[in-house]
Structure 1
Amino acid sequence: MRSKTKIPKALGRKIQIQRKKLKITQEKLAEKVGISRAYMGYIEQGRYIPSFKVADKIAKAFKVKVKDLISF
């Protein structure tokens, strides 16, 4: 879903920070989640909001609960 609010940017930044903290590439995270690297990049840029299913898979890849991933 494409969005123009600040929430997607905050979520994307949070995902990017956690990914870098774990030393995982966008490509590797995208592979674990089952999406393209380009789509993962768009999520991190805040251009797209991930579906709940994708957000849940990202949270599992980070070994956190989805509520912790999406809370600000």
Structure 2
Amino acid sequence: MKNKRMKIARIEKDFSQEQLADAVGVTRQTIGMIEAGKFNPSLQLCISICRALGKTLDDLFWEEESEDEKNR
């Protein structure tokens, strides 16, 4: 699943993928893969990204249940 919330937060902060990558100590490709939903980051990396973007884990990484899942 694509991480649109992370991408939006990064753009709102006026960070390029490379700038965010530098801030958290990974490559630009890693940030791109997280945003594309092709890489599952470690909890430590998630926390670092949240700090760099001024967001919480819930803001960026928590998947909300759909209505169908809530009604099961």
Q: Which structure has the higher relative contact order (CA within 8 Å, separation 6+)?
A: 1
- CA radius of gyration, larger in: 2
TM exceeding 0.5: yes
Percent of pairs identical after alignment? 32
Count of matched residue positions in the alignment of Structure 1 and Structure 2: 63
**C-alpha contact (below 8 Å) 2:5/2:59 kept by paired residues:** no
Q: Which runs of 5+ in 1 are unaligned?
A: 1-5
User: Over aligned residue pairs, what C-alpha RMSD do you find?
Assistant: 1.2
Q: Which runs of 5+ in 2 are unaligned?
A: 65-72
* Runs of 4+ in structure 1 over 3 Å off: none
Match of residue 21 from structure 2: 30
Higher helix share: 1
Under a length normalisation based on structure 2, what TM-score does the superposition of the two structures give?
0.78
Under a length normalisation based on structure 1, what TM-score does the superposition of the two structures give?
0.78
